[in-house]
Structure 1
């Protein structure tokens, strides 16, 4: 009788994002979370000096936690509110100066031992419609394309075709990826949230809001330092049947070494109509997804993302604590299976 094949090792771990205050880090240490992405830093270069980043890293490490990632000032804001809009608006010489600053930030992150930065390249920001009521009266972030309003109908960027969008993405990557390689810092892109129809949204064709678009993105500049901040929730929003489809998407990017970080978020619904849920109550099989990350050899953080709002928890601390407990329990079970 042939003995069963040994299961792949578990190379990932629980992680956190958004906040690196002392109170939060103390709570994370109590939860057994030993890796984080810091909160958003200012776009000013003073916040990205080697001294400032060193102080940030030492602050995090003083709680027995490792600073794995820092967000670049390229967040998910709509283009009129973006920190460095010049990069996607392609306004020179301002674009060149902004990309130079991004390159310096990446170099400084590498110099102080921060192995990854994350970022977005979005014109339309995160789009949602009215919130819906979920389990126990929790308020869920939701999107229903049929109820959404394109107001105003055109962003400050004007009409953006697929060709224009890809040209600006490629320009950015060809400048930044060689710097990331030199600094040995991974750069991880968050997908568009949510996916939109091919006809576009507010005259923007959102090329990073489909699996095919993400496939093209990771192949645009071949590099082990160029990949995805793989938001499982955002990717599920691209799919008509997330429960049946998500594992194959994880395999596609994971087998190519393009998943650098995981936002472990669940939803109900799918393409153009969904509600964000707690991780245990959505449509996706989260334990199975975690096994798929193990299967492909993923090595980074598994972190909570958006959480429903519950009464008496305006900052989401209770909701996030639930998510950390859920992730740690799944990890414990996964280790028991090996």
Structure 2
């Protein structure tokens, strides 16, 4: 296993910092990734190659790029022709990634963003994004949820509040749950089945892994606003793999925080998931993050202070033979670290220490 970072629109300076902090891999999370697009919205293989070589010039590998699904999941339920047109573009992106030497793309099955209900104080007054199902209301959803690459803010009314970005490309085609309409349990699986059926053959041919991020967070029984999160449980993750269990291209962007949110015993859930999917070779990359709390009531946390035993997780990854990237993700916010670089540095140092001590 090795350290890595997810970066949006990385710069030379930011890549230098990643390398100096000991990262060996980079995941480019830019959505849409305009640096590799042509005028028709297609990835240009040579530009993908150039991006990879640029990152390699800093002594790191380009492990993965984000696949911008847009509204394909919702469209597959409401406008099939539009969804098929988007699928054709996504297949071209996957093929270009393979041609450009990038071994993996990642995506999320969220149709309505990553739902959060507020921000609360954490250690030393840091601001921690939280989800408490009993506090849910659409205004909190609009203000505090993650939409695509648009991050939740700290509660102030300002133009950078996610609701102001609604409809921009960076929101990934995601809507408020109140706007999406009813998405039943069966609808959720129908959309996911459509997506994998459209993309997997191309990924297999190109030798590219499809790393799927499960639903964040797990929703309560009956969903929220009629929207169900069908991959909000380990059973849902098992069903996802059963779509094509033998495929070397189908697996997970294995987010520890998201899996912890699925259970009232977060640590047990994470350890179970590692032991379930690790031996199958279905853990393609790891978001090595923590939460405080559990199912339907949690806050995001620094890795050393949460409900998941991170040392036990490292030990479990080693036991199942995982050798890939570990990325920090969803660190809290602070006015003394507005770019979150110091917080991410802390996470990387903490993870490196675990890798050196847990054998």
Q: Does the pair score TM above 0.5?
A: yes
Match of 1:73 in 2: 68
Match of 1:21 in 2: 11
Query: What are the equivalent positions in structure 2 for 1:166-315 lying under 5 Å apart?
Result: 166-222=189-245, 223-315=247-339
The answer as to whether partners of 2:138 and 2:178 remain within 8 angstroms in 1 is no
Match of 1:5 in 2: none
Per-residue deviation at 1:299? 2.1
The alignment status of 1:113 with 2:137, answered yes or no, reads no
Match of 1:79 in 2: none
Match of 1:6 in 2: none
Query: What are the equivalent positions in structure 2 for 1:56-205 lying under 5 Å apart?
Result: 56-74=51-69, 82=70, 84=72, 87-150=75-138, 155-205=178-228
1:34 to 24, 28, 31: 24
Point out the more displaced range, 39-48 or 93-102. Answer: 39-48
Structure 1 pair 330–228 and aligned structure 2 pair: CA distance change class (3 A): same
| Corresponding residue pairs, total | 317
What SS class does the counterpart of residue 123 from structure 1 fall into? coil
What SS class does the counterpart of residue 65 from structure 2 fall into? strand
What SS class does the counterpart of residue 141 from structure 1 fall into? strand
Give TM-score, length-normalised by structure 2.
0.84
For structure 2, which runs of at least 5 residues remain unmatched after alignment? 142-175
The answer as to whether partners of 2:4 and 2:24 remain within 8 angstroms in 1 is yes
2:44 to 43, 49, 52: 49
Give TM-score, length-normalised by structure 1.
0.89
Point out the more displaced range, 119-128 or 319-328. Answer: 119-128
Structure 1 pair 313–167 and aligned structure 2 pair: CA distance change class (3 A): same
> How far apart, in 2, do the equivalents of 1:85 and 1:156 lie?
14
> How far apart, in 1, do the equivalents of 2:203 and 2:101 lie?
13
Match of 2:159 in 1: none
Match of 1:8 in 2: none
Structure scoring higher RCO (CA < 8 A, sep ≥ 6) equals 1
> How far apart, in 2, do the equivalents of 1:305 and 1:154 lie?
24
